Amino acid sequence: MKKYIMLFVSVSILLLGACTDDRAGSDDVHNLTLAHNHPTTHPVHESLEKFKEAVEGRSDGDISISLYPNGELGDEREVIELTQTGAVDITKVSAAALESFRPEYSIFGVPYMFDSEEEFEEKMNDPEVADTIYQSSEDIGFVGLTYFDAGMRSIYTAEREIETTEDMAGLKVRVQPSATSVDMIEALGGTPTPMAYGEVYTALQSGIIDAAENNLTSLVSSGHGEVSDHWFYTEHAIVPDMLIINNQLLEGMSEEHQKIVQDAADVANEFHKDVWDEATKEAADEAQNEMNVEFHEVDKSSFEEAAQPLHEEMKNDEMMGPIYELFRGDESDGEG
Ligand code: GCU
């Protein structure tokens, strides 16, 4: 049923686009669709509202944006494909979902890639790093506009308790549908189960999986705290959310409009930093006090050690080696 609704919505958007979106660019007026998979209460949605407001205000209504939250237009893989063809104009997806389209995005799935959130921010704000990532998909139909901090990912379980990687044995952990995410949980000792984000709640509830790994907001905004008893601060990855746009559309806009879209993305990125920190704190508080999720520290060194072979692999990979070097810089010879 959901598929039919999605198909209907996609066709309607295409028809709507055909009527109101002048892709030929003669008068440079655009009615854009923007898809993402979070509920409207999620901080990313707020930041996308900010993006919409900035684009519409700055373009004096020449560019308007309709937001489609809640995965209404499809899961992350589906909306990336729709963005490639231009059926959807702009999409917010996790960097992990982009990995099967461009390998550069797999860098974020290497556990303990960044030593801290500060280091992650520093790299993402380095124009050389950002451009390498954002432009990597230019030849397959889309480019990155900006990223949204999605925090540190940790493991949470329906019932079981963990402290070291030894306790991960046999633990079925939902991972994002990406090869690096599968390798990551395998390296950390668990049994990875790739699945779309929208299916995680039911899978945890029904026992199809024993655990998931994500940021703190997932406990509250997607209700995962209702079906999880424990949160473990493994803090094993920082996988940003990416805002991508169909590049034919972008290139077809006047320079002025291209700049408006890019500047609005930068505004939304800055705005997101503030709402994200606040939302994360609130989520931890609500999960602990209202959903009765127990929070635990783990023996992080055991997890960091288990991640080392994946660093070696990435570093020595012909294609990914230079990207690893770009992100790790001076540290690439030291401990991960
Ligand atoms: C984060 C991210 C989502 C992604 C999800 C996942 O919540 O913001 O875009 O879908 O992780 O684990 O799949």
Mutate to test the pocket of ligand 1, among 36, 209, 214, 276 (most ligand atoms within 8 A of CB): 214
Percent share of the chain, pLDDT over 90 = 89
209/59 Cα distance (integer angstroms): 47
- pLDDT per position as a tens digit, 183-201: 999 999 999 999 999 999 9
What Å distances lie between residue 66 and 8, 63, 226, CA to CA? 16, 10, 31
Q: How many whole angstroms from 25 Cα to the centroid of ligand 1?
A: 34
- pLDDT per position as a tens digit, 136-163: 999 999 999 999 999 999 999 999 999 9
Per-residue pLDDT at 15 exceeds 90: no
Q: In the prediction, which pLDDT does 12 show?
A: 52
Q: In the prediction, which pLDDT does 5 show?
A: 47
- pLDDT per position as a tens digit, 294-336: 999 999 999 999 999 999 999 999 999 999 999 998 665 544 3
Per-residue pLDDT at 256 exceeds 50: yes
Q: How much is the pTM?
A: 0.91
Judge if the beta carbon of residue 176 lies within 6 A of ligand 1.
yes
Q: Under 8 Å CB-to-CB from 234, ≥6 apart: which residues?
A: 153, 154, 155, 188, 213, 298, 300, 303
Q: In the prediction, which pLDDT does 1 show?
A: 44
Confidence band for 86, pLDDT divided at 50, 70 and 90: very high
- pLDDT per position as a tens digit, 200-218: 999 999 999 999 999 999 9
- pLDDT per position as a tens digit, 61-73: 999 999 999 999 9
Q: CB of 109 within 8 A of CB of 180?
A: yes
Q: Where do the domains of the chain lie, and which CATH numbers do they carry?
A: 2-151+239-281 (3.40.190.170), 152-238+293-330 (3.40.190.170)
Q: In the prediction, which pLDDT does 329 show?
A: 80
229/288 Cα distance (integer angstroms): 10
Higher pLDDT: 282 or 329? It is: 282
Q: How many whole angstroms from 94 Cα to the centroid of ligand 1?
A: 6
Q: How many whole angstroms from 108 Cα to the centroid of ligand 1?
A: 13
